[in-house]
């Protein structure tokens, strides 16, 4: 190997050829560049042991989520959130089923129930030209991961969805990354399961935040009543039909600020911060539909 490398280095014609070839691959369409970027997966696998260990060290030094004062309280809080998420998902599913039942009585099809297998996957690389815009997880098609599979952090906080998948790895764009697109969510105005919800449309706003328009709180009450107030700290959950059913009602984050829109003072703009620094997540939970994909509702 050393001899062939030495011969390669001595070759005078090869360098200009390599430069021309690289210029060519730089302007290839992304879809066509998959052939030339095929060494990516073996390279990531070779780098994974080191990058994963250093990543763990880094997260120990600078944790992505604020440290809880008491581990037991933190575990209980996570459990409560998991149950709340499950209850809300069941509530949403219940509503959807009621709708489908209505349709079924009119001759429509009745979709089967939702079954999800949760697969833990460590983050082996946070890459992207703007460091951390894409997370590479160590789970791939052999684990049942597919394009569109939903990824969460701590089980209930929405991370993003799988955009590329290979045999052993997959790439997830966090919802806060600049290319992640718009999300539809609901601000939960209270702690109870039947607490009212207010729709919002969120887009990445930089600095790990999401920002967008909030529906008019006045629409939740009859005229003359005081509309509910959206305050910092309220949870925002996903309610977006373009996402799979396995992602519905996962937590997007907490309300950080609510202020009048710059151009239209009567409209409200909400700023949401995920509860975990998504770009620095060390592990994700992939929510893989246990049923065939077409049973997963949404776009799968």
Partner 1 sequence: MNWAIFAIAAWLALGIDLGLGPTLALGGRGGVVPSVAIAFTAYVAMWAPPRTALWAALLIGAAIDLTSELALAGRGTGVLLGPNALGVLFGTQFVLAARSLVVRKNPLSLMVMTTAASLSAQIVVLAVISARELIGNRLGFFGTPLAWDTRLELEERALSSLYSGLVSLVVAVVLIPLTPLFSFVTPTQARWTRRS
Task: Return residues touching partner 1 (CB under 8 A).
Answer: 1-2, 5-6, 8-10, 15, 18-19, 22-31, 33-34, 36-37, 39-40, 43-44, 46-47, 50-55, 57-59, 61-62, 124-134, 136, 163-164, 171, 173, 177-181, 206-209, 277, 279-280
Written as six digits, the tokens of 18 are: 């390599």
Query: Residues 6 or more apart from 59 whose CB is under 8 A from it?
Result: 280, 282
> C-beta of 235: minimal distance to partner 1 in Å?
20
Q: Strand 251-260 relative to strand 235-238: parallel, antiparallel, unpaired?
A: antiparallel
3-state secondary structure 204-266: EEECCEEEEEECCHHHHCCCCCCCCCCCCCCEEEECCCCCCHHHCCCEEEEEEEEEECCCCCC
**Nearer residue to partner 1 within complex by CB, 26 or 222:** 26
**Nearer residue to partner 1 within complex by CB, 98 or 130:** 130
What is the C-alpha to C-alpha distance for residues 46 and 196, in angstroms, rounded to an integer?
A: 50
Other CB atoms closer than 10 Å to residue 19's CB: what's the count?
10
> C-beta of 204: minimal distance to partner 1 in Å?
9
> C-beta of 162: minimal distance to partner 1 in Å?
10
> C-beta of 120: minimal distance to partner 1 in Å?
19
Please list, residue by residue across 72-101, b when 16 or more beta carbons sit within 10 angstroms of its beta carbon and e when fewer do: eeeeeeeeebeebbeebbeebbeebbeeee
**Nearer residue to partner 1 within complex by CB, 44 or 285:** 44
> C-beta of 180: minimal distance to partner 1 in Å?
7
**Nearer residue to partner 1 within complex by CB, 84 or 280:** 280
Are the beta carbons of 251 and 158 closer than 8 angstroms?
yes
Identify the CA nearest to 193 among candidates 269, 89, 295, 266.
89
Are the beta carbons of 236 and 254 closer than 8 angstroms?
yes
> C-beta of 33: minimal distance to partner 1 in Å?
6
**Nearer residue to partner 1 within complex by CB, 136 or 149:** 136
Written as six digits, the tokens of 50 are: 């080191």
**Nearer residue to partner 1 within complex by CB, 108 or 181:** 181
> C-beta of 131: minimal distance to partner 1 in Å?
4
**Nearer residue to partner 1 within complex by CB, 120 or 130:** 130
> C-beta of 283: minimal distance to partner 1 in Å?
13
**Nearer residue to partner 1 within complex by CB, 54 or 80:** 54
């Amino acid at each position: 190997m050393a001899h062939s490398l030495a011969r390669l280095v001595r070759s005078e014609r090869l360098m200009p050829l390599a430069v021309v070839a690289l210029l060519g691959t730089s302007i290839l369409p992304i879809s066509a560049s998959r052939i030339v970027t095929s060494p990516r997966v073996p390279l990531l696998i070779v780098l994974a042991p080191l990058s994963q260990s250093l990543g763990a060290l880094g997260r120990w030094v600078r944790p992505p989520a604020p440290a809880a004062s008491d581990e037991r309280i933190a575990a209980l809080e996570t459990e409560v959130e998991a149950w709340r998420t499950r209850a809300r998902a069941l509530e949403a599913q219940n509503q959807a089923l009621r709708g489908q039942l209505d349709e079924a009585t009119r001759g429509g099809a009745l979709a089967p129930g939702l079954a999800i297998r949760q697969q833990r996957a460590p983050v082996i690389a946070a890459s992207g030209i703007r460091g951390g815009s894409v997370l590479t997880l160590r789970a791939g098609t052999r684990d049942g991961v597919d394009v569109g599979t939903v990824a969460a952090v701590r089980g209930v906080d929405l991370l993003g969805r799988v955009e590329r998948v290979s045999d052993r790895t997959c790439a997830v764009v966090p919802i806060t990354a600049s290319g992640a697109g718009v999300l539809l969510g609901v601000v939960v105005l209270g702690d109870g399961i039947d607490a009212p919800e207010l729709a919002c449309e969120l887009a990445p706003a930089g600095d790990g935040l999401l920002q967008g328009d909030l529906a008019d709180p006045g629409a939740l009450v009859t005229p003359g009543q005081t509309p509910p107030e959206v305050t910092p700290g309220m949870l925002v959950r996903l309610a977006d039909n373009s996402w799979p059913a396995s992602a519905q009602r996962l937590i997007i984050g907490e309300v950080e600020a609510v202020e009048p829109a710059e151009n239209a003072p009567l409209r409200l703009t909400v700023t949401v911060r995920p509860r975990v620094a998504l770009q620095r997540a060390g592990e994700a939970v992939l929510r893989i539909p246990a049923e065939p994909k077409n049973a997963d509702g949404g776009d799968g």
